[in-house]
Amino acid sequence: MFAEPWQAQAFALALTLSHEGHFSWKEWSTALAQEIRRAEARGEPNDGSRYYDRWLATLERLVTEKKLSTRPALRQRKAEWARAYRRTPHGRPVELAAAQPPARAGRAARPGHRPRR
């Protein structure tokens, strides 16, 4: 089972992208096996507890290799989410728009940008 919500999201994103034909499941397994091997070679815990960390690393790798996004875009968006979390008062849903400077916040808050809680 999933220990944290991000694991479920990473799991479902990989299945969905493969189902949509962005990579085959064989490509996925091969890449995941590589990530696991590398992590274990680096001496990281190999008791299965870090499985979804490797899953996520594989997802980022395939998404960039298949040119669905780029490393810089992922880094930038991650920083935006971190800003959004810092600026959102406790108990309120975190939205990406909160990461924007106030003048642009209204524009960025269009429905397509609205993150799930």
Binding flag, residue 81, another protein (CB under 8 A): yes
Core vs surface per residue 80-98: b (16+ CB within 10 A) or e:
beeebeeeeeeeeebbbbb
Pick left, alpha or beta for residue 91 (phi over 0 → left; psi -120 to 50 → alpha; otherwise beta). Answer: left
Closest CB to another protein among 103 and 116?
116
Binding flag, residue 93, another protein (CB under 8 A): no
Residue 68 to residues 44, 46, 64, 82, 89: CA-CA distances in angstroms? 29, 30, 6, 22, 33
Binding flag, residue 103, another protein (CB under 8 A): no
Residue 46 DSSP one-character state? -
Do you know the residue count of the chain?
117
Binding flag, residue 48, another protein (CB under 8 A): yes
Binding flag, residue 60, another protein (CB under 8 A): yes
Binding flag, residue 65, another protein (CB under 8 A): no
Interface residue list for another protein (CB under 8 A): 1-2, 4-13, 15-20, 22, 25-26, 28-30, 32-33, 36, 40, 46-49, 51-53, 56, 59-60, 63, 68-69, 73-75, 77-78, 80-82, 85-86, 96, 112-113, 115-116
